[in-house]
Amino acid sequence: AQTVTQSQPEMSVQEAETVTLSCTYDTSESDYYLFWYKQPPSRQMILVIRQEAYKQQNATENRFSVNFQKAAKSFSLKISDSQLGDAAMYFCALYNFNKFYFGSGTKLNVKP
């Protein structure tokens, strides 16, 4: 079975600071993909970052980077220099067999 767990329902960060959101997953496959999506109050689901499991190098997109630990099945998202616009729900997702498995989400608050 494929599962994705986000153990932090809610987190807060001060503007300009760095925050890390946790995600663990379970799969018996060796080839898969991992994603982080952002859902602001407007409810759009926006792709933040994508990681290919067979690549050891951690993906980065501007202020967003991941710490991918394949053996530990961990995929955390680091947001540097947090901005007010980063406030949103963040969902971790696992792709396998053409299906996406989503975690329950982490609500990120950004304090001015």
Q: How far is the CB of 19 from other proteins (least distance, A)?
A: 21
| Token digits of residue 48 | 């933040």
Q: How many residues are listed for the chain in this entry?
A: 112
Q: How far is the CB of 82 from other proteins (least distance, A)?
A: 23
Q: Does 33 bind other proteins (CB under 8 A)?
A: yes
Is residue 19 classed as helix, strand or coil in its secondary structure?
strand
Strands 106-111 and 10-14: parallel
Q: Does 35 bind other proteins (CB under 8 A)?
A: yes
Spatial separation of the C-alpha atoms in residues 47 and 93, rounded to whole Å = 10
The helix or strand, by DSSP H or E, that contains position 48, with its residue range, turns out to be: strand 46-52
Question: Per CB under 8 A, which of residues 50..69 are in contact with other proteins?
Answer: 50, 52
Binder to other proteins among 1, 71, 98, 112 (CB under 8 A)? 98
Binding site for other proteins (CB under 8 A): 32-33, 35, 37, 42-47, 50, 52, 91, 95, 98-100, 102-105
